[in-house]
């Protein structure tokens, strides 16, 4: 692992103002989980060598991931082995005419500093989060640390991806679970950004979109309105749970530029490594950075080398890292994993190395590295007092030490 990482505390007399700016400028409308504040008092500062290494690794991972999903699209029989539901496998057959250059491809790779250097826990291939946290949050944080600067602005990169594909002034559909404020804040940030560039933003539930001749339309108003682009922040595996009348399979075959097109779901499952040897694709970066992954089998609570992970897990949920998992919770997860083996994997645990703060505390750090259309597009950070980065982890801005040259 190259370069240097520092965790610096926001001065106590500035923290209240900093948190206020995060909430109201960076769309952090849900600044806590239960009674826990999720706006970190610290910032993570990387030097240019760490940035360069993470950039190169993430872009190489993205290249390999795209190659794998195109291979999988031509070999959909492997989708069942990945654990994709039957309804989703049927939908993928409608994506045979998929042309990747027509759609915006977004991924986020989650990196962890370990005793073996950088390792990754997953790719958020379908609907990664952290949009405002990787766009506005670093800009706010850099104001409080004069010798630092923000890295790439994720929102700018996502906008540029659509700018290349659609006409100015067009309408973009921001598809999300409209009942949840934490989802709406993500879409509101991007919608405001697109409107500042002259586009029209429409906020939609997934069943507010209909498809005619593979074109997407909003049906919120009396007359269907043509959508020139779709940004989806609704996990694809939730789509089959929509009302029967929902046209959710239209997302698979649409020619409307989308981020992400459902093809991205082919590389989302944590079971992806189980079929690597069947694909005619080289993935050396993946094999180097992702811990050994196996089909689910019986583990004991005392097991230290391997953990259970759900194939479609999100936000670190149900991962059996011992320090964050009670014996009762472990038994529940184990029972579920052995009952539904296709929905779980067993993965070798990497040894996450906590980073000491400038005031003597220690935290485990996860750096999500965004890639848009194959190009590094920003950082999303979270820290936790224990090695599992879950829903109680705090958002931490990733900023860059200014070069002395």
pLDDT in tens, 77-121: 998 889 898 888 888 999 988 999 999 999 999 999 999 999 999
Average pLDDT, the chain: 92
Judge contact between 123 and 64, C-beta under 8 A. no
The bridge status of strand 200-204 relative to strand 171-176 is: parallel
Taking alpha carbons only, the member of 38, 33, 145, 127 closest to residue 370 is 127
- Residue 404 confidence (pLDDT): 56
Alpha-carbon span 127 to 235, nearest angstrom: 6
Angle between helices 181-196 and 154-163 (to 10 degrees): 60
Domain ranges of the chain: 5-269+354-401, 292-348
Alpha-carbon span 317 to 388, nearest angstrom: 9
Alpha-carbon span 375 to 384, nearest angstrom: 28
Which has the minimum average pLDDT: 130-144, 157-171, 295-309? 295-309
Is 70 exceeded by the pLDDT of residue 244?
no
H, E, C per residue of 291-357? CCEEECCCCCCCCCCEEEEECCCCCCCCCCCHHHCCHHHHHHHHHHHHHCHHHEEEEECCCECCEEE
Name the pLDDT band for 391 (thresholds 50, 70, 90): confident
In this prediction the pTM is 0.95
Alpha-carbon span 213 to 65, nearest angstrom: 30
pLDDT in tens, 203-229: 999 999 999 999 999 998 778 899 999
Is 60 exceeded by the pLDDT of residue 405?
no
């Amino acid at each position: 692992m190259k370069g240097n990482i520092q965790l610096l505390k926001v001065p106590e007399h500035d923290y209240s103002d900093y948190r206020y700016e995060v909430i109201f400028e960076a769309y952090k409308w849900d600044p806590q989980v239960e009674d826990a504040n999720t706006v970190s008092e610290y910032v993570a500062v990387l030097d240019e060598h760490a940035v360069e290494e993470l950039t190169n690794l993430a872009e190489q991972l993205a290249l390999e991931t795209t190659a794998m999903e195109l291979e999988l699209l031509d070999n959909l029989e492997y989708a069942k082995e990945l654990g994709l539901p039957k309804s989703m496998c049927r939908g993928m057959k409608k994506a045979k005419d998929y042309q990747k250059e027509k759609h915006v491809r977004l991924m986020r790779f989650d990196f962890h500093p370990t005793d073996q250097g950088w390792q990754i826990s997953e790719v958020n291939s379908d609907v990664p989060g952290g949009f405002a946290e990787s766009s506005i949050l670093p800009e706010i944080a850099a104001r409080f640390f004069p010798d630092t600067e923000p890295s790439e602005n994720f929102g700018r990169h996502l906008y540029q991806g659509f700018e290349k594909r659609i006409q100015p002034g067009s309408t973009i559909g921001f598809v999300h679970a409209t009942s949840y404020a934490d989802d709406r804040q993500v879409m509101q940030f991007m919608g405001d950004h697109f409107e500042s560039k002259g586009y029209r933003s429409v906020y939609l539930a997934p069943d507010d979109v209909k498809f005619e001749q593979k074109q997407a339309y909003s049906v919120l108003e009396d007359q269907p309105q043509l959508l020139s682009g779709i940004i989806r922040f609704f996990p694809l595996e939730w789509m089959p749970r929509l009302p029967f009348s929902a046209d959710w399979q239209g997302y698979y075959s649409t020619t409307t530029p989308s981020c992400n097109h459902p093809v991205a779901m082919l590389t989302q499952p944590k079971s992806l490594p189980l079929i690597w040897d069947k694909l005619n694709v080289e993935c050396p970066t993946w094999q180097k950075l992702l811990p050994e992954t196996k089909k689910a089998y019986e583990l004991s609570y005392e097991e230290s080398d391997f953990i259970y992970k759900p194939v479609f897990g999100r936000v670190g949920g149900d991962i059996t890292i011992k320090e964050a998992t009670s014996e009762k919770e472990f038994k529940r997860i184990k029972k579920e994993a052995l009952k539904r083996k296709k929905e779980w994997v067993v993965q070798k645990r990497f040894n996450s190395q906590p980073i000491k703060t400038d005031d003597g505390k220690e935290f485990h750090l996860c750096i999500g590295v965004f890639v848009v259309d194959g190009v590094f597009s920003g950082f999303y950070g979270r820290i936790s007092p224990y090695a599992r980065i879950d829903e109680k982890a705090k958002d931490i801005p990733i900023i860059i030490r200014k070069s002395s040259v």
